[in-house]
Amino acid sequence: MKLENFLQVIEVYGADSARWPENLREDLEAFLSKNQSVRALLSEYSQLEQSLDKIAIPDFPGLETRVLNQALPLRQQSLTVKLISWLVPTEKFGANLWRSAIAACLPLVFGIVLGNYYSFGISSEVDEYDYWEDELAMIALTDISESEV
């Protein structure tokens, strides 16, 4: 380990040994323990970092209100995005699950309605007779006609 390498590490990673790279830490600490002038150098960098930490940042009173209240342009949403956002809302997710349930039931309701109004080409002989009594009468007539013959 050379002084130059040591210096590079403390400049890049800081004077705190906890932040030094794992693979170099042992070598760095050994180098540090052997050399008094290196310890003085580390102390100097440590002092610099402490001074940097002490530089105050002023408060920004009213900035949060200003940013929250700034006029935001309207966001244009596509129909798909709107539909997905209605079905799977991001806020109060549990409270709005009924939307997904309703959406899931829609095909079932649609099928029932469609099935009630359209036969889809399936004919039934039952449709030819209004009442079962008529059907019996017709069967009876058939029997008579056959016996007469």
Partner 1 sequence: MTDEELMRAVCNGEQFAYQTIVKQHLTSISHYAFRILGNQKDSEDITQETFLKLWINAEKWQPEKAKLSTWLHRIAHNLCIDYLRKHGSIQTLENIEEGEDSIENLRDWQESHEISETRTQQDQILKNAINNLPENQRSALALCHYSGFSHKDAAAIMNVSVKALESAITRAKRSLRKQLRDTNNNKGEDTTASSPHM
Q: Of 52 and 101, which has the nearer Cβ to partner 1?
A: 52
Q: Does 149 bind partner 1 (CB under 8 A)?
A: no
Q: Does 131 bind partner 1 (CB under 8 A)?
A: no
Whether the CB-CB separation of 17 and 49 falls below 8 Å is answered with no
Give CA separation, 17 vs 41, 57, 73, 119, in Å.
14, 27, 49, 82
Taking residues 17 to 36 in sequence order and writing x for each that binds partner 1 by CB under 8 A, - otherwise, the string is -------------------x
Closest distance to partner 1 from the beta carbon of 112 (Å): 33
Whether the CB-CB separation of 20 and 9 falls below 8 Å is answered with yes
The one-character DSSP state at 91 is S
Closest distance to partner 1 from the beta carbon of 130 (Å): 57
Q: Does 66 bind partner 1 (CB under 8 A)?
A: yes
Q: Does 16 bind partner 1 (CB under 8 A)?
A: no
Q: Does 90 bind partner 1 (CB under 8 A)?
A: yes
Q: Which stretch binds partner 1 (CB under 8 A): 56-64, 105-113, 128-136, 141-149?
A: 56-64
Q: Which residue shows structure tokens 């001074």? A: 51
Give CA separation, 110 vs 26, 45, 120, in Å.
73, 75, 15
Whether the CB-CB separation of 75 and 48 falls below 8 Å is answered with no
The one-character DSSP state at 70 is S
Q: Does 60 bind partner 1 (CB under 8 A)?
A: yes
Q: Of 11 and 29, which has the nearer Cβ to partner 1?
A: 11
Q: Of 71 and 149, which has the nearer Cβ to partner 1?
A: 71
